[in-house]
Amino acid sequence: MATTANPTRDDFAKLLEEQLGGAGEDGFEGRVVHGTVTAIENGMALIDVGLKSEGRISLREFARGEGDEPLKVGDDVEVFVDRVENADGEAMLSRDRARREAAWDKLESEFGEGKRVEGRIFGRVKGGFTVDLDGAVAFLPGSQVDIRPVRDVGPLMDMPQPFQILKMDRRRGNIVVSRRAVLEETRAEQRSELIDRLTEGQVIDGVVKNITDYGAFVDLGGIDGLLHVTDMSYKRVNHPSEVINIGDTVTVQIIRINQDTQRISLGMKQLESDPWDGVGAKYPVGAKVSGTVTNITEYGAFVELEAGIEGLVHVSEMSWTKKNVHPGKIVSTSQEVDVMVLEVDAEKRRISLGLKQAQRNPWEEFAETHPVGSKVEGEVKNATEFGLFIGLPGDVDGMVHMSDIAWGISGEDALALHRKGEQVEAIVLDVDVDKERISLGMKQLEKGAPAAGGVATSSGLKKGDVVTVTVLEVRDGGLEVQAGDDGATGFIKRSDLGRDRDEQRPDRFQPGAKVDAMVTGFDRSKKPNFSIKARQIAEEKEAVAQFGSSDSGASLGDILGEALKGKSE
């Protein structure tokens, strides 16, 4: 293109059109271009960008910072061309739009590189705040202001500070930023630096920041460590507030550092001497010691022997006599008790204790003070289908079997004569300390009863005696009988009613009938057993011995006939 000495505006426009690729003046629209200030009048600046007409921009859009020179004629400025020509024939220009477009270009570049950007919080909107990023307006959600909720954002307003761009949409003009992400990244960097300076086993001072049910968080100078409740003291700690308070300065030892999660575990008791050292020699098995009940559970009670050393009294080792009861009904918290050391496991830090072992065995004591044959008195605690349980001195119970309640009546009838709460007398028949059993007898106290442990009845019966008995009761299984008018009661089984099957029918006897029977033995309660069959066999043997021989040829009928004849004579 040929140049002229005095180029006209048309020449300049043509040259500009060539530089823009032949787009013409329409190619200016939506672009940021350079212009020259040609005049300043009435608060407006006239800008020449090489179009047919100049554009006007308010001086407010050219606000400069302190120390900067004000806008003047001849200054070169960047402006945004909104329209080439409006209704008045002027170009529609904007300095703010130019600044925003430049800011967007810069922000997109920084967002792509993951860089932080600087901005100022200048306004509050629903759900958050507005941030000026050097001309571009971004949205700061309320949850992204700080790591922890912030009640007063006033100190953060209009203060230059870094932000992290989370999302950008230039077409819609949306930018979302976060101040919290910058703080977290900074804190992570600081934590990494601090953790690198810390080592396991190191002793360090810290300030208690927060207390929970399971422990306390201690500030170690920019990084928090957890002091678990079990690491505060060797003694039992129910809640951390019993040992420390918020704001306290504590000396702790670093127990463990997890490099992956950057979590630090702290301990206080590790700085004290371990009370479990030499615990086996201090508390040997079998030793009787005193302690304080610190905790009660369903399975037992924990007893503190000294600060930091606790033992467990299992529910089975709490009482000689109280079985299947809650430990809280035997002991109470803070109660001083005497216990015996049953087992010590220093490695597992466990001591098994016995509460009842520190007391005298009540069955041994009863056996010493109440030998077999001695008389006792007590209350009927319970009546069962097989006997009575009597409360005895020493908080122990003895049992009277139904067969040892009374003479001359059945066990069921004897049980019916007594009721719960009744005071009765009995005699000690047997004491088994190992099985914790005491056998009692009540009928043995009746007039004419045999001594405890004897085998004879009140009538002096012994095995092999043939006596006349009276039928007291007819049962399907046999007969309940009594020897003499007021002698011992016994039983004849169905199979013992006779040698022949026809004779073994209980219904052929009536109550009150008398019959001869042989004593064949005694049951556990020294009650005699009778047998008609045994008497018949014994009489046959005697007849054979007296009236017959192996070679006489006499029949059994002949022999019995002679025996009966001789007996009658």
Q: What per-residue confidence (pLDDT) applies to 323?
A: 79
Q: Half-sphere exposure of 401 toward its Cβ, with a 13 Å CA cutoff?
A: 14
CATH number of the domain at 9-100, out of 1.20.120.1200, 1.10.3720.10, 2.60.40.10, 2.40.50.140? 2.40.50.140
Q: What per-residue confidence (pLDDT) applies to 486?
A: 66
* CATH architecture of the domain covering 466-547: Beta Barrel (2.40)
Name which of 394, 366, 397, 404 is nearest 380 in CA terms. Answer: 397
- Phi then psi for residue 545, to 5 deg, are -70, -35
Average the pLDDT over 100-113 and give the result.
Answer: 80
pLDDT band for position 178 (cuts 50, 70, 90): very high
Indicate whether 538 pLDDT > 90: no
User: Do 466-547 and 198-271 have the same topology in CATH?
Assistant: yes
530 burial via Cβ count (<10 Å: 0-12, 13-18, 19+)? buried
Which of residues 544 and 5 earns the better pLDDT score?
A: 544
pLDDT tens column, 202-236: 888 989 988 898 999 998 877 888 999 988 888 77
Q: What per-residue confidence (pLDDT) applies to 139?
A: 93
Average the pLDDT over 279-283 and give the result.
Answer: 85
Instruction: Please list, in sequence order, all residues whose beta carbon lies within 8 angstroms of the beta carbon of residue 355, skipping any fewer than 6 positions away.
Output: 301, 313, 317, 318, 319, 330, 331, 337, 338, 339
Average the pLDDT over 323-340 and give the result.
Answer: 88
Fold for the domain defined by 114-184: OB fold (Dihydrolipoamide Acetyltransferase, E2P) (2.40.50)
Average the pLDDT over 277-299 and give the result.
Answer: 88
Q: What is 31-79 written as a DSSP string?
A: EEEEEEEEEEETTEEEEE-SSSS-EEEEGGGG---TTSPPP-TT-EEEE
Indicate whether 436 pLDDT > 50: yes
Tokens for 54? 């100049």
Is 289-358 CATH 2.10.109.10? no
Indicate whether 282 pLDDT > 60: yes
Q: What per-residue confidence (pLDDT) applies to 301?
A: 92
Which letter does DSSP use for residue 198 in this model? -
Q: Which of 12-21, 74-83, 162-171 is least confident?
A: 12-21
Q: What integer best gives the mean pLDDT of the chain?
A: 80
Indicate whether 8 pLDDT > 80: no
Fold for the domain defined by 198-271: OB fold (Dihydrolipoamide Acetyltransferase, E2P) (2.40.50)
CB 226, CB 240: distance < 8 Å: no
DSSP H or E stretch at residue 489: strand 489-493
Give me the percent of the chain exceeding a pLDDT of 70.
Answer: 82
Indicate whether 491 pLDDT > 60: yes
Which of residues 75 and 120 earns the better pLDDT score?
A: 120
pLDDT band for position 293 (cuts 50, 70, 90): very high
- The tokens 């008609």 sit on which residue? 532
Average the pLDDT over 187-212 and give the result.
Answer: 84
Q: Which of 54-63, 258-267, 557-566 is least confident?
A: 557-566
Please state at what angle helix 532-547 crosses helix 556-568, rounded to 10 degrees. 90
Q: How many CB atoms lie within 10 A of CB 458?
A: 19
Q: What per-residue confidence (pLDDT) applies to 109?
A: 82
Indicate whether 11 pLDDT > 80: no
Distance CA 452, CA 372 (A): 7
- The tokens 């957890």 sit on which residue? 226
Q: What per-residue confidence (pLDDT) applies to 116?
A: 87
Q: What per-residue confidence (pLDDT) applies to 422?
A: 87
Q: What per-residue confidence (pLDDT) applies to 7?
A: 59
Indicate whether 391 pLDDT > 80: yes
Instruction: Please list, in sequence order, all residues whose beta carbon lies within 8 angstroms of the beta carbon of residue 495, skipping any fewer than 6 positions away.
Output: 504, 533
Q: Which of 127-141, 361-375, 451-465, 511-525 is least confident?
A: 451-465
pLDDT band for position 163 (cuts 50, 70, 90): very high
pLDDT tens column, 132-161: 887 788 999 988 888 888 778 888 888 899
Q: Which of 153-157, 264-268, 524-528, 538-542 is least confident?
A: 524-528
Q: Strand, helix or coil at 356?
A: helix
Query: What top-level class would CATH report for the domain 365-445?
Result: mainly beta
Domain spans in the chain, listed from the N-terminal domain onward? 9-100, 114-184, 198-271, 289-358, 365-445, 466-547
